[in-house]
Amino acid sequence: MDISLAEALVLLAYRDEDGTTEAGVRGLNHGVAAASLLELMLEGRIAIDGGTVAVSDATPTGRAVPDAVLARIAGAGTSLTPRDWLWTLAREDGHRVVLDRLVDGGVLERRDGRVLLVFPARRYPAPGGVTPPAEADVRARMRAAVDGAGPVDARVAVLCTLVGALGWDRLVFPDVPAAHLQRRLAELRDAPPVAGVVADVEAVVMVAAVLPAATT
């Protein structure tokens, strides 16, 4: 998997054919924030120390999205819990930054139009409506993880559990029997370092769901 977890999550959320999404702005922003934090944990750049996020290695990962978050944490000058960082990062509309990177890289296209000939609308389809190779690879790895048993690659486990935490499981795995999917996602969710941060994601998403709607 050559793309960042945040980029993978955004690709999963948008339809290749028409560039629309059912994920919602809040879900996308919380997902991007969580994916970046978890990627930095997997790469050994940050750790949870005394309940707060601490930088353990400030060396960039080479992936722009998590590296921007790493620099932000390193320069914060204050200690925040994972949940506090989720709220902070989610407010910064990070999914749009990821979309811009995917467009600049030719992975997605940006198309502006109008809904009912009045309201501006922006879509992000894949070129030719064909699933990008990076997304196809991610989906294949996630499907193998869900269909299989036992431990899987940590990055794949993070994506699977984030999809569950954000309520996107049926969006990403529409043809997997619900009982099997929930059981397998629960198994992947309980593996470290996923469990603690994913629990925070679920709590943040539940609170966000009852707040006034964000502007898209």
Q: Is the pLDDT reported for residue 215 higher than 50?
A: no
pLDDT digits (tens, 9 = 90+) for 13-70: 999 999 999 888 888 998 899 899 989 988 999 988 888 899 999 999 999 999 999 9
Q: What would you report as the CA-atom Rg of the chain, rounded to the nearest whole angstrom? A: 17
3-state class of 120 per DSSP? strand
Closest by alpha carbon to 34, among 77, 69, 74? 69
Residue 67: what pLDDT? 95
Distance, in Å, from the CA atom of 72 to the CA atom of 101, rounded to the nearest integer, reads 18
Architecture of domain 5-209: Orthogonal Bundle (1.10)
pLDDT score, position 24: 82
